[in-house]
Structures are given as C-alpha cells and as structure tokens.
C-alpha cells in the first residue's frame, strides 16, 4: 500500500520495492545549511575553502544521484552493505540520496576540474542519539595533475613550499609510510609518482588541520597540535588513510583520504592524470570547534541558537536551558519470523516526533528475547523525548507522540504491543 509516486525537490518520481525515503528526510533536502549565512556549518565550509584559494569551490549539486554514481563508478563491490535499504535512502531502485560527497568525483573530474572542493548534505540511515543524524555535511577535496614530468614537478614544488610552512609551525605528526603491504601502490602507477602524490596529500591536509585547529588549541613549540595518520581502505583510493586530531583530550576522527584509484579517473575520462582526494565530515568538527553538544542543534530554528553565530567567526556556543527528558518505553512482539531493523524503527519515530526525540535505545538485552514456545521475538525500545527548542514538552504531549508511534508501529510492521 505504498503511494505510486513521491515528490522530491519539486519533482515526482515513481516508487518501487526499494523506496524508503521518509517525509522527514524529504523535508531536509532544500535546507542546505552549509550555504545559510552565519550558520556554523557555513562558516566551517568557508574556512576550509579559504585554505584552498586556488581550488574551484562547489556547493550546489543535487543530493539525488544514481546508485551507479554513488557506488559503481567508485568501484564499490556489488555486495557492499552501504547499498542496502537499511543503510541508504532510495527514491527508487535507480535514484538515491548520496551517502557521501565522493559520489560526485567522476562527474566533477569529468567536467575538467583538477583542483576542487565540494560541500554538500549527505544522507545515511542511522540510529538516534546526540552525535548521529540521518543528514550531515561533508566537504570533498581533490587535486589531480598530469602523470608526466611536468605534473610531478608541480607536485614537488608544492611539497617544498608546504614542508617549509609546516617546518615553521607547531605541529607534531604521527605518520605512517606512504606505501605498505596493506596499503599498496596501484598497478597503474609508478611508485615514485605515488610517493610524491601521497606526500602532497599529507602535507596539504596537515596544513589544513593547522588552519582549522592550530590557533584554537593555542599550539606552541612545547604544546604542538597533534595529528595522527592511520592506514585505511576505500574502494576508490589506494593507498588510503584516515586522519585524527588530538583536541580537548580526545583523538577526533576528521577525514578519510587517499591516492585516487585509476579506474575512477578512467571513468571520468582523465586517464592521463593522477592525484588525491579527501572527504571530511563538517558536523563533528563544528561540534568541537563551537562546543555544540547535540547534533540536532544544527537544524534548530530557535533564535537562541541561530543568533549566537556570525558568518566567518568561530565562537563558543552558550547552551540555553535544557528541558527535562521524558522517557517512554515501547515493548512489542514481532510476528513470527519477522525482523525489524533499528534504522526502520528510528525513521518511523523521526517521522512522528522529528527533532523532539533526543535518543532511542534498545532498552535492555533481557527484553530482546525470543519466546521459547511461540518463537515470537520481543523488543523494547526506550525513547527519550526532549525538546531542544523554545519550550518544554509536557508529559501529555510526549504521551500523545508515543501513542502515535505505537499505532504506526502496529500498522506498518504488524507488531503486537506488550
Ligand atoms: N567518502 C569517504 C567517507 O564518506 C571519505 C573519503 C573521501 C575517502 C575521498 C577517500 C577519498 O567516509
């Protein structure tokens, strides 16, 4: 009984067995927080862009992409879990919401861009808590050069410039080799070229980390900014790395990156070039830079949130009163043999209660059991309703939302409430 069409960004699309895009998600698509003046995500985008002044700065690509763009052009295997309807949002089997900004790499390289940044909203189905939200923002950055001596000379000169700059700065880098057995050179590449590109990638990003965090930790020779490189794997880069920064007593995961896998560049018709790409999540960085404690706040329309920020300035968020939490338990039996993915439960709750839900937890393992005689499975979720905006949520309102959750759960998943 699903509707046969769904309207997304003003266009109608046919639905099918893969359709799982929810009204809550559809409502986020036009917002583009990263371009809203004064919004923390917009200031962070601009701060990153200002560090790469000679790069093209893109920020208005549509979130609708094909699974082919999001996965296949980037060499994701056919059975990659990210493709499943429990992890990603589909308009229908041929159209989805990008799960990362890398989905645009082939398109942007194909247009002839060689040095670019792209900031955009990305979508992943997820649980509900203070640091997870099904929409977040990423900045992708990439640079490619000709795979010949001219291209390598350009990289070498840039490496010297960047190394000299970092030499004079208070930064301590825990590095890994550019290449290793786990993180090998690609068959299509000369290892000497790969080393130069990987070095340029590391120097460029170490310098970006200094730009974003250096001033704010008050890095000095005795107390330098600490950056750590870790080997990683991504289907469209080899070698691949992750970068972490030590900030306020914790290692923060900042970004993923690597030397672009040549088939990706072949797909963009730039086989004669090679280079690097990175992708970083804006919310996680903005949360620590601005001391924003809950990821839902980025979506707040409350003037007490929005009026605190000015474009181009990073200031410490002053929390306003938190309203009391209101916990409601939802316990139910699933029909025999049926399962319910936590992400399906969370999307249902978001559609009814929106950002009034602070978190959803599987209440206890004792309550996640299968009845020995009837073979039915029981689940219990604890929903924390708490308004982050203008006013307190009354117990009556929380009850009414919870009643709607329960009845929707019954209709949609045929569960029996305990
Ligand atoms: N797209 C990756 C992510 O979302 C990050 C990445 C970008 C990794 C570019 C390598 C190169 O985690």
Give the position, in ligand 1's atom list, of the atom nearest the Cα of 281. Answer: 4
Does 364 score more than 70 pLDDT? no
Mean pLDDT of the 238-246 span: 97
Which residue among 136, 205, 234 has the greatest number of ligand 1 atoms within 8 angstroms of its CB, and so is best to mutate? 234
pLDDT of residue 323: 80
Distance CA 274, CA 104 (A): 17
Among protein residues, the one with the nearest Cα to ligand 1's atom 7 is 279
Distance CA 29, CA 105 (A): 21
When pLDDT is cut at 50, 70 and 90, the band that residue 320 belongs to is confident
pLDDT of residue 7: 97
Per-residue three-class SS string for 137-198: EEEEEEEEEECCHHHHHHHHHHHHHHHHHHHCCCEEEECCCCCECCECCCCCCCHHHHHHHH
Spell out a b/e string for 353-382, using b for 16 or more CB atoms within 10 Å of the CB, else e.
Answer: bebbbbbbeebeeeeeeeeeeeebbbbbbb
Residues contacting residue 94 through CB under 8 Å, at least 6 positions apart? 66, 67
CA dihedral of 182, 185, 188, 192, whole degrees rounded to 10: -170
Among protein residues, the one with the nearest Cα to ligand 1's atom 10 is 257
Q: Rounded to the nearest whole angstrom, what is the distance from the C-alpha of residue 50 to the centroid of ligand 1? A: 21
Distance CA 56, CA 142 (A): 10
Q: Which of 40-44, 130-134, 205-209, 254-258 has the lowest mean pLDDT?
A: 130-134
- Intervals of CATH 3.30.930.10 along the chain: 5-306
Distance CA 200, CA 275 (A): 9
- Looking at residue 214, the DSSP 8-state letter turns out to be I
Burial of 38 (0-12, 13-18, 19+ CB in 10 A): middle
Q: Rounded to the nearest whole angstrom, what is the distance from the C-alpha of residue 256 to the centroid of ligand 1? A: 5
Q: Rounded to the nearest whole angstrom, what is the distance from the C-alpha of residue 233 to the centroid of ligand 1? A: 10
Question: Ligand 1: residues within 6 Å at CB?
Answer: 100, 102, 140, 234, 237, 256-258, 277-279
Q: What are phi and psi of 186, to 5 degrees?
A: -75, 150
Long-range contacts of 377-380 (CB under 8 A, 24+ apart): 377/333, 377/334, 377/338, 377/339, 378/331, 378/332, 378/333, 378/334, 378/418, 379/331, 379/332, 379/334, 379/340, 380/329, 380/330, 380/331, 380/332, 380/418
Distance CA 213, CA 226 (A): 10
Give the position, in ligand 1's atom list, of the atom nearest the Cα of 101. Answer: 1
Does 367 score more than 70 pLDDT? no
Among protein residues, the one with the nearest Cα to ligand 1's atom 12 is 256
Q: Rounded to the nearest whole angstrom, what is the distance from the C-alpha of residue 102 to the centroid of ligand 1? A: 6
Assigned architecture for domain 5-306: 2-Layer Sandwich (3.30)
Task: Write down the mean pLDDT value for the chain.
Answer: 93
Which residue among 109, 121, 256 has the greatest number of ligand 1 atoms within 8 angstroms of its CB, and so is best to mutate? 256
Mean pLDDT of the 57-63 span: 97
Separation in Å, CA 354 to CA 294, 296, 339, 357, 398:
14, 10, 24, 6, 12
Mean pLDDT of the 80-93 span: 97
Does 218 score more than 80 pLDDT? no
When pLDDT is cut at 50, 70 and 90, the band that residue 366 belongs to is very low
Give the position, in ligand 1's atom list, of the atom nearest the Cα of 138. Answer: 4
Which residue(s) pair with 144 in the sheet?
Answer: 275
Assigned architecture for domain 326-417: 2-Layer Sandwich (3.30)
* ipTM of the complex, rounded to two decimals: 0.98
pTM of the full predicted structure? 0.92
Q: Which of 209-223, 251-265, 312-326 has the highest mean pLDDT?
A: 251-265
Distance CA 217, CA 250 (A): 12
Beta strand pairing status for 135-146 and 273-281? antiparallel
Kindly state the percentage of the chain with pLDDT values over 70.
97
Distance CA 252, CA 267 (A): 33
Q: Is 356 helix (H, G, I), strand (E, B) or coil?
A: helix
């Amino acid at each position: 009984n699903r509707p046969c069409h769904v309207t997304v960004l003003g266009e109608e699309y046919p639905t099918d067995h893969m359709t799982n895009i929810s009204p809550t998600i559809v409502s986020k698509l036009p917002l583009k927080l990263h371009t809203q003046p004064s919004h923390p995500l917009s200031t962070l985008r601009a701060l990153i862009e200002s560090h790469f002044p000679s790069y093209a700065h893109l920020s208005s690509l549509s979130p609708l992409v094909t699974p082919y763009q999001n996965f296949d052009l980037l060499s994701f295997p056919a059975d990659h879990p990210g493709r499943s309807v429990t992890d990603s949002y589909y308009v229908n089997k041929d159209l989805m919401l990008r799960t990362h900004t890398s989905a645009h790499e082939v398109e942007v390289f194909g247009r002839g861009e060689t040095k670019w940044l792209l900031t955009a909203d990305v979508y992943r189905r997820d649980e509900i808590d203070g640091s997870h939200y099904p929409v977040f923002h990423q900045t992708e950055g990439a640079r490619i050069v000709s795979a010949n001596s001219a291209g390598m000379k350009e990289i070498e000169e840039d490496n010297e410039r960047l190394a000299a700059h970092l030499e004079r700065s208070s930064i301590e880098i825990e590095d890994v080799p550019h290449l290793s057995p786990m993180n090998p050179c690609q068959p299509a590449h000369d290892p000497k070229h790969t080393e130069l590109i990987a070095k340029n990638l590391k120097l460029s990003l170490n310098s970006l980390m200094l730009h974003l965090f250096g001033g704010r930790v008050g890095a000095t020779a005795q107390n330098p900014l600490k950056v750590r490189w870790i080997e990683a794997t991504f289907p469209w880069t080899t070698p691949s790395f992750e970068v972490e920064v030590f900030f306020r007593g914790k290692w923060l995961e900042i970004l993923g990156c690597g030397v672009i896998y040549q088939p990706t560049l072949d797909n963009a018709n730039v086989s004669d070039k090679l280079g690097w790409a990175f992708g970083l999540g804006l919310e996680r960085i903005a949360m620590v830079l601005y001391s924003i404690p809950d990821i839902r706040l980025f979506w707040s329309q409350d003037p007490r949130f929005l009026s605190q920020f000015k474009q181009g300035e990073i200031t410490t968020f002053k929390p306003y009163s938190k309203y009391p939490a209101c916990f409601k338990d939802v316990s139910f039996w699933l029909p025999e043999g049926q399962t319910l993915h936590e992400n399906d439960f969370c999307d249902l709750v978001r559609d009814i209660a929106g950002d009034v839900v602070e978190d959803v937890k599987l209440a206890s393992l004792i309550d996640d059991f299968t009845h020995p005689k009837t073979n039915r499975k029981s689940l219990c979720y604890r929903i924390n309703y708490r308004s982050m905006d203008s006013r307190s949520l009354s117990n009556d309102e929380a009850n009414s939302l919870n009643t709607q959750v329960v009845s929707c759960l019954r209709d949609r998943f045929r569960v029996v409430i305990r």
